[in-house]
Structure 1
Amino acid sequence: MAAPNQFRLGLAVRLALRELRGGLSGFYIFLACVALGTAAIAGVNSVSQMMTGSIASEGRTILGGDIRFESENQPFSEAESSFIEDLGDVSTGANLRTMARTQDGSDQSLVELRAVDGAYPLYGSFQASPDMPLETIFEERDGVFGAATAQILLDRLGLSLGDEVLVGQARFELRAIIVTEPDSLSEGFGFAPRFLISRSSLDAAGLIRPGSLIEYSYRVRVDGGASAGQLANIRADLREQFPETGLEVRTSRNAAPALTRNIERFSQFLTLVGLTALIVGGVGIANSVRAWLDGKRGVIATLKCVGAPSRLVVAIYLIQVMLIAGFGVFLGLLLGLATPFFAAGALSGVIPVAVQASVYPASLIIAAGFGLMTAFAFAVLPLGRAGEVPATALFRQQSFEGGGLPRWPYLLAAGVTLVALCAAAIWFADDRGIASVFVAAVVVAFGVLRLVGFAVQAIARKVPAVRSTPLRLAIGNIHRPGALTPSVVLSLGLGLALLVTLALIDTNLRRELSGNLPDRAPNFFFVDIQSSEIDGFENILSEVAPEGKVIKVPMLRGRILELKGEPVNEDNVPAEARWVLRGDRGVTYTKNLPENSRLSAGEWWAPDHQGEPLVSFSSEEAGELGLSVGDTITVSVLGRSIVARIANLRDVEWESLSINFVMVFSPNTFAGAPHSWMATLQDPDATAAEEGEVLRAVTQAYPTITSVRVKDALELANRVVGQIGIAIRAAALVALIASVLVLAGALAAGNRSRIHDAVVLKTLGATRVTLIRAYVYEYGLLGLATAVFALAFGAVASWFVVSRIMTLPSSFMPDIAAATLVGALVVTVGIGLLGTWRVLGQKAAPVLREL
């Protein structure tokens, strides 16, 4: 029995290859759909690998050492310093935000101050303009220290090199512009211009005070090199010698974890969008295969008449389809392979490391797998249906629409492949939870769109007869057997739904950052206010902003050591909650429930509580960490471990940008402990000039208090969101292009029956104008129905993302709705008329002879 099967397979291959000699006519949309989706997945993943690989290869330079130790707000102890200094060459530093003021006090700006020692940098090179050594930049001259800064600070304050600014209690001469700071990526995202000074001048500025928000760091070039094993041993030795240390440890193997995570997550999102485009293209693949097989009716009928079984017919055309799909995948891989080389130049200005483009086989293999699986899953159904139609029916019928569903083996093959495709998308994702939701949304959208198509046809059947002949023809075309309705709705619906979803998310986010959020948020945040300064600070605000609302809270810094008596372990909590466990967190104490929060569980403590330490925990973060009322947490504050019981949980309005804390303690917890204060000023009616006066008054009276203007931070965030939005809209455009290709394929698949319909109607007296009007009505009604679905689906999906994931207010945008409706109508009517124009000019005689 093996020989016949082998013979049949060989025969199928030979027949398939012979028939392909006729070219790829009818498969251009098929190729475009496969190539577009494959290229999107391959390109996005290749660029992601290029970026993360470049960061990894430059790990020592980015980190500034082989290993880096950080301490939030607490200087290193002598024992810790001694341990670190024994490892090799060391460079110390400190980072904080503070204010830089012009000499006459007329203007000021928030700066990201960084103090480094003489050993900086251990790896890489620092470049300044004009070019000079750091020793020359930093040296003290007649009581004035030197500094290097970003060009934007000079622009903001209207200064030039050689001018002086006041920082804290010290004077600094601006001697150079920072050109290259080799380890800037490891410093994280900055909201203000960089201001680089020497470690010794930081002490003279008087900015290090109790409660100051300072990050201390040690960078080490390990003696004898630093293998992965050595770095792991150093980390283990540190934990063994200092089990309760609050030091954060990073190695050159993970130099910029936040940036790497963001790249991977954004890459995942774009990959899923690319996969959506590929799946949308799958509908086009099915339409193309159906149209192609429709043109092969005579060949298939002849094969069956000479005794070819259905399996052989299916095998012949499946081999052809997969060979053509392989060619489409190859074209997509070429585009994906070239993408990193085109992107490297653009990214070199975004990531300050040497971006080296290369070929990334893993990304190409994944994209090829997705492309081939999609092609097979969507091609096997029309192939199976054609194989089951008897020869006599093939000679009589004009298409395969009457063939019904194929037998269960073909349905099973398509179903298993689609499940494998979804499973692979989730498996290869960085965040499988988000990937699962995304895949589920696409599956639901597919199902709903099929229902929408059936509903439109059912409504069209129930519509009473109308007098207008073109409209009557249009309605009949919508629900007749073999109608294009399901294909048009499905092909256009997914692309439009994705476009509307992303547009609404982008618009809501932009509106929140530029409009609603600034109106609700305070005008200023003030930090590093000492207890001796708080009364005078309030007096100043009452004078310069008498209508403003001032909120002040005490603030300390604490690191969570244990949860429910067990040492913290980031690996056991969701990724979105790990930030609570990393480094020191701001904590406070109060007698009363804070504003912008409400109790969700437990009870608030009495104002005069004097019992065991109690803590109120943010309910969302508590749920993610597995905490509930009655559990205990251990927090290290000022070097002292405090065990507190959770008395209640709070729902916190983080989006208000008011003062909020994950942990709020009962006042008796920190009785007598030294601390600083944080304050906000909210005055919605304040003008820019009045805000400038507040800033000047506070900075001149208390130069060591850091003042953050919220609108400046939101404007920066808005610019970042705008840049991300460009990439998101580009990704949505890829999906929309795929939808347009699929729509064109759907029209091409129905052209044969359209030709016969048009010829018969013209023979019976219908004019070209009548047929054009009928097609305009038909495509317009289908476009309208599709746009309504896209609006509904996009509104729900964007609401879920903005409201539930981003926890921001979400609203429906009528302008987006109108644009979608117009876009859907233009696309469907335009492409529909382009696709059927040839039909209207078809000569009647050749077609009538075939009937």
Structure 2
Amino acid sequence: MTAIDVDTSLAPKAGTADAGLLPTIRLAWRFALREMRGGLNGFIIFLLCITLGVGAIAAVNSVASMMSDGIAREGRAILGGDLRFQLVQRERTPEEASYINSLGEVSETAGLRSMVRLEDGSDQSLAEVKAVDSAYPLYGSVETTPPIALETLFEQRDGRYGAIAAQELYDRLDVEPGAIVRLGDAEIELTGVINREPDILSDGFAFAPRLMMSRAGLDASGLIQPGSLVEYDWRVRLPAGSDAEVMADEARDQFPTAGFRVRTAEDAAPSLQRNIERFSQFLTLVGLTALIVGGVGVANAVRAYLDGKRPVIAAFKSLGAAGRLVVLVYLFQIMALAAVGVAMGLVLGAIAPFLTANFLESVIPVAADASFYPGALLIAAVFGFLTALTFALLPLGQTRDVAATALFRDAGATATGRLRWTYAIGTGVLALCIAGLALFMARDKQIALVFLGGTAAAFIILRGVAVGVMALARRAPKVHSTPLRLALGNIHRPGALTPSVVLSLGLGLTLLVTLAIIDYDLRQEVGTGLASRAPNFFFVDIQNNEIDQFRQAVEEAAPGSDLEAVPMLRGRITHLGDQDVATMEIPEEGGWVLRGDRGITYSAEAPENASLSAGEWWAEDYDGPPLVSFADEEARELGLEVGETITVNVLGRSITAELANFRVIEWENLSINFVMVFSPNTFEGAPHAWLSTLTLDDGGADRSNAVVAAREKEIVNTITNAFPAVTSVRVKDALDAVNSLIAQLALAIRVAAGVALIASVLVLAGALAAGNRARVHDAVVLKTLGATRVTLIKAFATEYALLGLATGIFAIGAGAIASWFVVDQIMTLPYVFDWTVALTTLVVSLVLTVGFGLAGTWRILGQKAAPVLRNL
């Protein structure tokens, strides 16, 4: 092909549409395909970065979609019906019963927490007791061992009612089916094991294993007393063709002040669904972090690839190719490679539900029907292409206006030209698109905004750190050590690896330090700090007429102990001022107060473990309209002000009270605290029970100590045997359960953080590989001037060690600040910095930088000098 022929084919023809845009695009695509035939060396890191990020996002959203679909598909079985009515502390009135029964087939259950004791009173365990009728369950089935009808398992034999229990209860009491235990005042026989309970998810978080029996058996136990914390549920199977949502609205209109919580199958497991959405949002953001970190690898790979293509670009420019043609040729190649990386990531995301379905079914009792989720895959693909294009645009733009004479020279560093504003603006627009998509997908916009702002700040700060390290190296005093002098020069010279290394490792290591310290502080606080400050026991459902005898029994069983007791009722907030809670959009922060029933109390005096932040406490003999004291933080989050009113439904009665004051509550000490404390005259004559805490005088001994545990067991056995209707909760057991949840959450977070760290390592490897071209020239020139291989190895190792040290120190500092903010400011827990995490981070940083650096450099040191010197 002659120069004229090539020039004619490369130059756009006059008079064509858009100055030859379409012919230019066709020509660029043709050249891109031709050049790709020769292979695309150096793009492995590019592919892995895109694959990892896209795969993480696709997998998380696919698994979340699978779980959400499972909940929606089995909504009626999870709810137990098409409609579900719930009341706390009271049963329905005849009028309410007549209305509910008219809707369709009804199943009634009653649930409470109580102690299950051995016959001889030597041991006991907390249980979630659920009494069901003959119609239960309306949907789904209860799977038991032995597999026989519930009526048979629950029937009365030899004066004892039967009951079935989860295997965990058998394990706690060390008994087998057929054992006789006591529940309240009655003896019951454990007749079987519950393998599957269809509606367990809709009953909320379980603090103890399930015990299921008939309503007659529960009545015989004597546990249901006036004021007892009993939850009554009526599940309704509607006739075919009925609209559950319409029926629910009609029920709320029919009984606006009854205090019913009415749910449909669309709202079968709201807490679980919220947790799935929150966790998937978090993991999606972590996956996006991995993708953005990988974007740095994309930029490095593109820059290194274009640097290697300078002779080809020079040929294009010399033969008359416009800068637009050059950009399009390599843009097509890069996006084609991005498509391959996205496709591999989508494969990982598509198979994730099939790999995790069995595991999820063992954790969450919802049938996980694995499938392909196009929406989740599409979102991941869009993120992948946007990220690839965002980080490739600047290197491409710098190539457009590089002069051909500069491109023909081989100086060992990437040639760059001036950057046009159009490319910078395009990069900014694409970055905003990524941020907008992440914000659009987020359930909690505030968390997404914090993440996006933190990511942007991290990029800016890490860039500043890199500039600072280079400035320090440039201003370092002269040293006699040749390897150290060469290392300092390599850190600050043009085209140095410093920005890429600091950025690639900085994000991943900072995330690891932050999460590790948060995990450490949570475990320390829950396992040690909180356990030492919290009471030993909580006692619930102490009857009003038994509180004095209960105090006396505790004093005799545990002399010198501290017993705190307060009256407790349950109520649900129905109105904030004139606004109906059922029709308002519940805020994410503080919204938990408006969901379901809350414990409430009354008191003439202000609680000792709280301080007033606004308003004044009422007089001890106050006898005016109802007043209420509200938790300060939750009040602020809900936008409440002193002087406004709230309406609470208690025992079917709506009570409107004025907000008299706000209290700052120390929730973290696990003493008795309530969001709402009312003036005493509000509930005068209302039936209620008491809640108490017991703190033993154990001299600060470790509560895991065998002696302390034995004393606690003896005390609780004495009290619960004397008061069988009272429920006791050992705080250490509750904290152990919390620690177990923290461990599971920490494992998931570590896996997610590991994905980001892997992306950082990939980018580090790519950055070092991209610098190999310049390293070849350095090594050849230095060896020509007399440097030995040992000297060069020492120089490179010193350079990598200094970069790793600087990055590790930054990660420790940034991680410490971030973890302090989360632990101290958000969780309001004591902050402790773990130096083990700091030292581990430094070691990891040094190993990665020095290890990867020397692994790539070793091959460079063997390059022959002649071929390189010929091109200088």
TM-score range, shorter chain: over 0.9
Distance 1:792 1:104 in 2: 58
Alignment match, 1:271: 284
Which one of the candidate residues 627, 632, 635 is aligned to 1:622? 635
Which one of the candidate residues 453, 458, 462 is aligned to 2:466? 453
Which one of the candidate residues 719, 730, 734 is aligned to 1:698? 719
Which one of the candidate residues 547, 555, 558 is aligned to 1:545? 558
Describe the superposition over 1:452-490 as per-residue Cα deviations: whole angstroms up to 9, x where unpaired.
000000111111011111111111110011110001000
Instruction: Specify the code of the residue in structure 1 equivalent to 2:500.
Output: S
Instruction: Specify the code of the residue in structure 1 equivalent to 2:571.
Output: G
Distance 1:394 1:526 in 2: 81
Alignment match, 1:429: 442
Give 1:394 shift: 1.2
Q: Are the aligned partners of 2:252 and 2:262 in contact in 1 as well (CA < 8 Å)?
A: no
SS of the residue corresponding to residue 786 of structure 2 reads: coil
User: Which sits farther off after the overlay, 129-138 or 568-577?
Assistant: 568-577
Distance 1:567 1:421 in 2: 37
Alignment match, 2:479: 466
Alignment match, 2:351: 338
Give 1:578 shift: 2.3
Determine whether 1:586 maps to 2:607. Answer: no
Distance 2:410 2:577 in 1: 73
Distance 1:583 1:262 in 2: 16
Q: Are the aligned partners of 2:574 and 2:649 in contact in 1 as well (CA < 8 Å)?
A: yes
Matches within 5 A, 1:63-462: 63-226=79-242, 230-398=243-411, 401=414, 403=416, 406-462=419-475
Alignment match, 1:805: 826
Q: Are the aligned partners of 1:288 and 1:745 in contact in 2 as well (CA < 8 Å)?
A: yes
Matches within 5 A, 1:507-546: 507-546=520-559
Distance 1:565 1:629 in 2: 15
Describe the superposition over 1:151-203 as per-residue Cα deviations: whole angstroms up to 9, x where unpaired.
12222212121110000111100110111112122122211111011011111
Distance 2:142 2:656 in 1: 45
Which one of the candidate residues 799, 820, 823 is aligned to 2:844? 823
Q: Are the aligned partners of 1:294 and 1:399 in contact in 2 as well (CA < 8 Å)?
A: no
Instruction: Specify the code of the residue in structure 1 equivalent to 2:838.
Output: A
Q: Are the aligned partners of 1:246 and 1:583 in contact in 2 as well (CA < 8 Å)?
A: no
SS of the residue corresponding to residue 364 of structure 2 reads: coil
Alignment match, 2:11: none
Give 1:112 shift: 0.6
Distance 1:570 1:273 in 2: 34
TM-aligned CA distance change 1:404 to 1:341, over 3 Å: same
Instruction: Specify the code of the residue in structure 1 equivalent to 2:296.
Output: V
Distance 1:620 1:424 in 2: 31
SS of the residue corresponding to residue 477 of structure 2 reads: coil
Give 1:405 shift: 5.0
Alignment match, 1:757: 778
Q: Are the aligned partners of 1:570 and 1:578 in contact in 2 as well (CA < 8 Å)?
A: no
Distance 1:536 1:771 in 2: 84
SS of the residue corresponding to residue 90 of structure 1 reads: strand
SS of the residue corresponding to residue 757 of structure 2 reads: helix
Which one of the candidate residues 617, 621, 624 is aligned to 1:604? 617
How many residues get paired? Answer: 848
Give 1:608 shift: 2.4
Q: Are the aligned partners of 1:105 and 1:696 in contact in 2 as well (CA < 8 Å)?
A: yes
SS of the residue corresponding to residue 595 of structure 2 reads: coil
Q: Sequence identity of aligned pairs in percent? A: 60
Instruction: Specify the code of the residue in structure 1 equivalent to 2:633.
Output: E
Instruction: Specify the code of the residue in structure 2 equivalent to 1:643.
Output: T
Instruction: Specify the code of the residue in structure 1 equivalent to 2:134.
Output: G
Q: Are the aligned partners of 1:30 and 1:288 in contact in 2 as well (CA < 8 Å)?
A: yes
Give 1:76 shift: 1.4
TM-score, normalised relative to structure 1: 0.98
TM-aligned CA distance change 1:764 to 1:115, over 3 Å: same
SS of the residue corresponding to residue 446 of structure 1 reads: helix
Q: Are the aligned partners of 1:385 and 1:400 in contact in 2 as well (CA < 8 Å)?
A: no
Unaligned runs of 5+ in 1: none
Distance 2:500 2:844 in 1: 18
Q: CA RMSD in A?
A: 1.4
SS of the residue corresponding to residue 418 of structure 1 reads: helix
Distance 1:612 1:815 in 2: 58
Instruction: Specify the code of the residue in structure 1 equivalent to 2:53.
Output: G
TM-aligned CA distance change 1:417 to 1:54, over 3 Å: same
Instruction: Specify the code of the residue in structure 1 equivalent to 2:616.
Output: E
Q: Are the aligned partners of 2:631 and 2:676 in contact in 1 as well (CA < 8 Å)?
A: yes
Give 1:397 shift: 4.8
Q: Are the aligned partners of 1:554 and 1:676 in contact in 2 as well (CA < 8 Å)?
A: yes
Distance 2:489 2:749 in 1: 39
Q: Are the aligned partners of 2:470 and 2:498 in contact in 1 as well (CA < 8 Å)?
A: yes
Alignment match, 1:776: 797
Determine whether 1:681 maps to 2:702. Answer: no
Determine whether 1:54 maps to 2:97. Answer: no
Distance 1:43 1:408 in 2: 37
Describe the superposition over 1:296-337 as per-residue Cα deviations: whole angstroms up to 9, x where unpaired.
010011110111111111111111111111111011111111
Give 1:528 shift: 0.5
Instruction: Specify the code of the residue in structure 2 equivalent to 1:332.
Output: G
TM-score, normalised relative to structure 2: 0.95
Distance 1:492 1:499 in 2: 11
Unaligned runs of 5+ in 2: 1-15
SS of the residue corresponding to residue 379 of structure 1 reads: helix
Describe the superposition over 1:717-761 as per-residue Cα deviations: whole angstroms up to 9, x where unpaired.
211221121111111111101001100111111111110001111
Describe the superposition over 1:557-607 as per-residue Cα deviations: whole angstroms up to 9, x where unpaired.
222232223332463341232221223321111122213211111122222
TM-aligned CA distance change 1:223 to 1:327, over 3 Å: same
Alignment match, 1:503: 516
Q: Are the aligned partners of 2:257 and 2:653 in contact in 1 as well (CA < 8 Å)?
A: no
Distance 2:358 2:40 in 1: 36
Alignment match, 2:580: 567
Distance 2:571 2:737 in 1: 29
SS of the residue corresponding to residue 576 of structure 1 reads: coil
Q: Are the aligned partners of 1:290 and 1:400 in contact in 2 as well (CA < 8 Å)?
A: no
SS of the residue corresponding to residue 114 of structure 1 reads: strand
TM-aligned CA distance change 1:243 to 1:384, over 3 Å: same
TM-aligned CA distance change 1:93 to 1:723, over 3 Å: same
TM-aligned CA distance change 1:330 to 1:315, over 3 Å: same
Q: Are the aligned partners of 1:13 and 1:316 in contact in 2 as well (CA < 8 Å)?
A: yes
Instruction: Specify the code of the residue in structure 1 equivalent to 2:26.
Output: G
Distance 2:273 2:604 in 1: 41
Alignment match, 2:744: 723
Give 1:443 shift: 0.8
Describe the superposition over 1:360-393 as per-residue Cα deviations: whole angstroms up to 9, x where unpaired.
0001100000000000000010011011111111
Q: Are the aligned partners of 2:535 and 2:695 in contact in 1 as well (CA < 8 Å)?
A: yes
